[in-house]
Structure 1
Amino acid sequence: MALGQKRNTPVVREASRALDQLKYEVAQELGIQPPEDGYWGTMTTRDTGAIGGNITRKLVALAEQQLSGQSR
């Protein structure tokens, strides 16, 4: 793997912008101030883990709804 290459790229390229927006929405819901410069590397592990965990919960719930044929 080349230096600086991302390993977790979205399967659907167009989803990248939506996932990024979701990250900011979840941070706001949790009362976590997102970095102004857009670089998340200086945030605490606890905060980024909380954001990631909540994103995962939301995506799993969305997938379960779609699989069961229910809408939001």
Structure 2
Amino acid sequence: MASNSKTKFDKLKYEVASEVGVNLKQGYNGDITARDAGRIGGNIVKKVFQAYTGKNYQ
């Protein structure tokens, strides 16, 4: 079960990165900026919130 949830999270992570214009690659991504990493993480939170509540986060 843990590997399945990690796979879903990875899929979401790459989807969000693509949406915000950040080029994530498989494996090490230590070369991206903190700002880009934050944009990815913030948008993941928004999507999870929306999926959980059915409401848009503002």
TM-based fold match above 0.5:
yes
Structure of higher CA gyration radius = 1
**d(CA) in 2 for partners of 1:64, 1:47:** 26
After superposition, the CA RMSD in angstroms is: 1.4
Q: Answer yes or no: is 1:45 the counterpart of 2:34.
A: yes
Query: After the TM superposition, which segments of 4 or more aligned residues of structure 1 sit over 3 Å from their partners?
Result: none
TM-score of the superposed pair, with normalisation by structure 2: 0.80
Q: Which of structures 1 and 2 has the larger relative contact order (alpha carbons within 8 angstroms, sep 6+)? A: 2
Where structure 1 has 5 or more consecutive residues not aligned to the other structure, the ranges are 1-11, 66-72
| Equivalent residue, structure 1, for 2:43 | 54
Q: Answer yes or no: is 1:15 the counterpart of 2:13.
A: no
Cα deviation, residue 28, structure 1: 0.5
Which structure has greater helix proportion? 2
